[in-house]
Structure 1
Amino acid sequence: MSIVRHGRNPGTPGTGLDRASQVVVYNGVVNFVTTGNRPFGGTAAEQAAQCLARAEERLAAAGSSKSKLLTVQIWLTDMRYFQEVNAVYDAWLDQANLPVRCCAKVELAHPDLKVEMIFSAAA
């Protein structure tokens, strides 16, 4: 099985080094992470909507779709955002093809970042 990588995320400015692939496909599974748009701002619900829009783009680039999601991990900086993020997430999902999901409170890398999501899907 070959590993297919789509896109690159830059590393530390000025180093010329990249930090991560945007999407990795291996053994029929698409893997990627999304955040809201830079500069980070807005509500947790707005950031979640941006994450999900980016997820659709990345799924399409890998020849997949939200109907093929396997797992979703949602990371929140504050569990007070849980309900507003759930409202956006639930409305976005393909209700006929639900993935497994978890949600956790974590400290994220940027102080204005409220939501980060990790996805895996069938290719």
Structure 2
Amino acid sequence: MTKRIPGAVATRSRAVISNGIVTTVATSPNKSDSMYEQVQGALAAIDKNLADAGSSKANILTAICYCADMARKPELNKAWDEWVDTANIPMRAVLGVQLENKDLIEIIATATI
């Protein structure tokens, strides 16, 4: 069975749960924030989406961070290192991309329930 947690836009889900795996995506709600603050906002949204799906950051298997400014990756790393569950460190990839809507970061996480 597949369950979808609706997003702010009718054509997008915040999370999808299928066979004990949850996949979620988040950006920061405040597009005028610094990279560090946008990463914090996106990670807070990941926390909420995982909780709504019955999971937590301790269960994250993989995370992909799409970063609009790779020169500012140290800010991303700082926010990530403060947030990550160090007892259950997931695999993480960071890719430089062009994002829209003044987003500096978009994060996709896959976790178990």
TM range (shorter): over 0.9
- Give unpaired runs (5+ residues) of structure 2: none
**Aligned-residue offset at 1:27:** 1.2
Equivalent residue, structure 1, for 2:23: 31
Q: Deviation digits for residues 7-59 of structure 1, max 9, x if unmatched?
A: 2331xxxxxxx221111001111101100004x11100000000011111111
Equivalent residue, structure 1, for 2:40: 49
Q: TM-score, normalised by structure 2?
A: 0.95
- Give unpaired runs (5+ residues) of structure 1: 11-17
Q: Deviation digits for residues 43-93 of structure 1, max 9, x if unmatched?
A: 000000000111111111111011000100011111111101100101100
Do structure 1's residue 108 and structure 2's residue 107 form an aligned pair? Answer: no
Distance 2:7 2:85 in 1: 28
Equivalent residue, structure 1, for 2:13: 21
Q: TM-score, normalised by structure 1?
A: 0.88
Equivalent residue, structure 2, for 1:71: 62
Aligned length: 113
Distance 1:99 1:57 in 2: 18
Do structure 1's residue 91 and structure 2's residue 90 form an aligned pair? Answer: no
Let me know the Cα RMSD of the aligned residues.
0.9
